[in-house]
Structure 1
Amino acid sequence: MRFLWKCAGGDRYLLERATYSDQIKYMCLGGIVFATGAMAGLAGGYAFYTIFEPRGSAIENPVDIQTVLLALFFGIIWGLMIFNIDRFIVTSTGKGDGTEAITIGELKSALPRILMGVIIAMTISKPVEIRMFKTEIDIKLREKQLEQQAEYQSKVDKTYADREKLLEKEFGSIAQQRNTLNGRIKAAEQAYTDNLMGKAGKIAAGNGPLSKALKSQLDDLTNQLVAFDKQNGEDLKELNKRKGELRIAKERERNNNEKIANGLDGLLERIKIAHEVSGFWISFFITLLFMAIELTPIFFKLMLTKTTYDYLAENRDELMKAEYGIEVQYDKYKDKEGIERHLTINHEAERIIFEKKMLTNIQKELTKYAVTKYKEREMKKIDDNIDSYIKPINADEQNG
């Protein structure tokens, strides 16, 4: 109970002397503040793990122990930070006008704290939301990863096909001439084979004059190809080399396909899919739930009526003011805008300032008196022995 009192910013000394209902109220307030900090720690740790975990398949992705330890450390720090902010918000909210009704003025004064509470609630709700729908999100995310793989594969194939075409265009005339020669050689080989097999019209099978002529033509074309390769060997070698480099680079990019697709497994993508899976209303009500938890202490304090604890706190404050010589005259004057302001008088500070002023004045008077007496003494010395101040000039010294 005392720990939860501290969480709510309650004074233990006063609460131990207040009513039991006051003790329960502040215990409940502290419980909400502590629970919010704990949920923030869990949500922050899970968000940290989702951001920094090793990327892999959304379905088959083992837990990384090192990232878990880092996420635990971050979650504790994050939870303590949110806990401290919530504790400050609740402590600084005050009691409003001391009635159960929440007026417009109270809402205006509490608006900055309400906005801070809304922001904190949203940061807590989103990681919790993606954890609630993790199974559905994993399935959808895996589908997107597979789609990304197929899309990336298609882009890689098209890109490298275009690059190979550009390469062939660069060596276009050489490649075209060689392809033409290859085509003629294949045609000559087919004609020679058909003639030997007796498939060339009415000509009998065998190695006759026509076959020999076809064989001579085939040998001539083959020799032309050898000569062509010899003449353009360096260019052809460079063409084949660059084609091979393109194919190697293409395979390397295809191997990166899965790695790039697995990069979709991030916090932002999971939040987007969570909204798709749950729909607007479910996501809205989850966020609304955390907002209610976060903002409950603020509205709760605005609705509290004055109780024994409040009177004890006011008495303590007045006693401390009296002990240190502080007087507050409420609604003493109006400022330039016509708003009534309190006049604060620090009697102890004014006493010290008055003493300092008096001591300074006395010191001035004593200094003045001392200077006067010094003057009188010096004047008396001059009267008694004027020669010690004015020495006559000797006539000899004057002539010299």
Structure 2
Amino acid sequence: MDSVSRFFWFCSGVHADTLRNFPTEHNKYVGIGATIFFTALFATLSGGYAMYFVFSGDNFAVFFAILFGLIWGLAIFNMDRYIVSSISKNASVNKQILQATPRILLAIMIGIVISRPLELKIFNKEIREKLKLSYLNGQRSKIDTLNSTFQNKYGTELSKLKDLSAERDSLQADITRSRYLLNQEIFGDKTNQTSGKVGYGTYAKQKEEVLSQKVARLEAVRAEISAMEGFVRERRDQDGLTSQRLFSNKQLDSLANVAGFADRNWALGQLSFKADGSRDLGTYLAVAFIGLLFILFECLPVFVKLMSDKGPYDIALGNTEEAAIHGSFKDRDFEVAVTDAVQDTRIDAETEKRKRMILREANSDFFEG
């Protein structure tokens, strides 16, 4: 437990030697350090999960995810540790709030960044369904666009093919009816379109000739239709319409598996809306509360430090810092005094040396005179 406590003290950024003298403060900073540690742990998982989708499909995707997750977690750990340790309880309340405001804003941004990839994992099933529906609608829209473009580009040929098909259907019906009338004429059935005479007579020959003309025309129309259909089929292949098909369930699953971070993030945003565009309040609140939970979790160490009373550790730490500052000033003053004394000694030595030189020169002049 001592090792665990020292580890969490390190996470909270305290001065362990000073804190060790105040047992009543131990649990508070163990809690703050644990919060910072688990925030960094969530950041590691979040960053690794996000990076896994960035390198999805790569052979080293797992390696890059672990590496980036560790780097991101350590960065968040370092920032959180600095944020908490830099708030001084020896300052006034207003100054503490002023110190904490930019740190709280930074903590909110960190919480938002951490929460998003974890939200993607929590709503993974719903996101996959939303992506599959989006891909299916996108493919359907693509096919409709290609068909519309093809219709405009080859409108004349398609219109002619339609007319030929209508003529073929009309000829087939007319030939069936003409054959029936020819049989009635041959067997002598009396109607308003037959003579009623049995045998292959003049009227029967006339009806057979008309029937032959219709059959010949039908063959010609079928040949034109076959040629036109071949032309249209070739153009469809060239324009890519033939190869376009709606995705199967297996294909949709594969596309959802390789979806990138941006697509999944978009799908998560779309979960808050219904098909008619109205907001789905239940899903919206679920996503929002999860994000707020991580933001609060990230801001919690700062709030705990602000709300906690000024304890003996804070007073002792303040005294230690003040003593260190005074000691630094004393050392500096001592160094300045020593430097000044040395400088004065040097000046006095130079002055004495000059006096001796002047006296020596004066004595020399006196004896020479």
TM over 0.5: yes
Counterpart CA distance in 2 for 1:298 and 1:33 is 10
Contact 2:123–2:268 (CA under 8 A) maintained in structure 1? no
Counterpart check, 1:146 vs 2:133 = yes
Counterpart CA distance in 1 for 2:47 and 2:121 is 12
Counterpart check, 1:24 vs 2:32 = no
Counterpart CA distance in 2 for 1:128 and 1:219 is 72
Contact 2:47–2:73 (CA under 8 A) maintained in structure 1? yes
Contact 2:47–2:69 (CA under 8 A) maintained in structure 1? yes
Q: Give CA-to-partner distance per residue, 1:181-231, whole Å, 9 cap, x none.
A: 7578647744653344337932567584214422553476479769x96xx
Matched with 1:335 is none
Counterpart check, 1:122 vs 2:112 = yes
Q: Give CA-to-partner distance per residue, 1:142-195, whole Å, 9 cap, x none.
A: 26633652x345434433433343344344797588668757864774465334
Equivalent of 2:47 in 12, 27, 44: 44
Q: How does 1:90-129 map to 2 (within 5 A)?
A: 90-97=84-91, 103-129=93-119
The secondary structure found in structure 2 opposite 1:299 is helix
Contact 1:39–1:124 (CA under 8 A) maintained in structure 2? yes
Q: Give CA-to-partner distance per residue, 1:31-63, whole Å, 9 cap, x none.
A: 121121112222333344456556xxxxxxxxx
Contact 1:181–1:221 (CA under 8 A) maintained in structure 2? no
Shift of 1:317: 3.2
Normalised to the residue count of structure 2, the TM-score between the two structures is 0.66
Counterpart CA distance in 1 for 2:98 and 2:199 is 109
Quick one: structure 1 residues 198 and 41, their matched pair in 2 at CA, closer, same or farther if it must change by over 3 Å?
same
- Worse overlay, 179-188 or 153-162: 179-188
Matched with 2:76 is 82
Counterpart CA distance in 2 for 1:178 and 1:145 is 41
- Worse overlay, 174-183 or 278-287: 174-183
RMSD between aligned alpha carbons? Answer: 4.7
Counterpart CA distance in 1 for 2:209 and 2:270 is 75
Equivalent of 1:161 in 132, 147, 170: 147
Quick one: structure 1 residues 357 and 221, their matched pair in 2 at CA, closer, same or farther if it must change by over 3 Å?
farther
Contact 1:153–1:257 (CA under 8 A) maintained in structure 2? no
Counterpart CA distance in 2 for 1:210 and 1:105 is 114
Q: How does 1:178-257 map to 2 (within 5 A)?
A: 182=168, 186=172, 189-190=175-176, 193-198=179-184, 201-202=193-194, 208-214=204-210, 217-218=213-214, 221=217, 238-246=231-239, 249-255=240-246
Contact 2:172–2:218 (CA under 8 A) maintained in structure 1? no
Counterpart CA distance in 2 for 1:223 and 1:120 is 77
Amino acid at match of 1:37: A
Normalised to the residue count of structure 1, the TM-score between the two structures is 0.62
Counterpart CA distance in 1 for 2:346 and 2:183 is 136
Amino acid at match of 2:19: L
Amino acid at match of 2:179: T
Counterpart CA distance in 1 for 2:135 and 2:199 is 60
Counterpart CA distance in 2 for 1:298 and 1:239 is 71
The secondary structure found in structure 2 opposite 1:253 is coil
Contact 1:15–1:23 (CA under 8 A) maintained in structure 2? yes
Q: Give CA-to-partner distance per residue, 1:292-328, whole Å, 9 cap, x none.
A: 432232233334444443444344434444554458x
Amino acid at match of 1:241: E
Counterpart CA distance in 2 for 1:348 and 1:23 is 38
Quick one: structure 1 residues 235 and 79, their matched pair in 2 at CA, closer, same or farther if it must change by over 3 Å?
same
Amino acid at match of 2:194: K
Matched with 2:306 is 302
Counterpart CA distance in 2 for 1:87 and 1:271 is 32
Matched with 1:34 is 37
Runs of 5+ consecutive residues of structure 1 not aligned to the other structure: 55-63, 328-345, 377-400
Quick one: structure 1 residues 309 and 277, their matched pair in 2 at CA, closer, same or farther if it must change by over 3 Å?
same
Contact 1:121–1:294 (CA under 8 A) maintained in structure 2? yes
Contact 1:197–1:205 (CA under 8 A) maintained in structure 2? no
Q: How does 1:333-372 map to 2 (within 5 A)?
A: 346-347=332-333, 350=336
Contact 2:271–2:283 (CA under 8 A) maintained in structure 1? no
Counterpart CA distance in 1 for 2:159 and 2:45 is 68
Number of matched residues? 328
Contact 1:7–1:33 (CA under 8 A) maintained in structure 2? yes
Amino acid at match of 1:202: T
Contact 2:131–2:267 (CA under 8 A) maintained in structure 1? no
What is the aligned-residue identity percentage?
24
Contact 2:147–2:241 (CA under 8 A) maintained in structure 1? no
Amino acid at match of 1:169: G
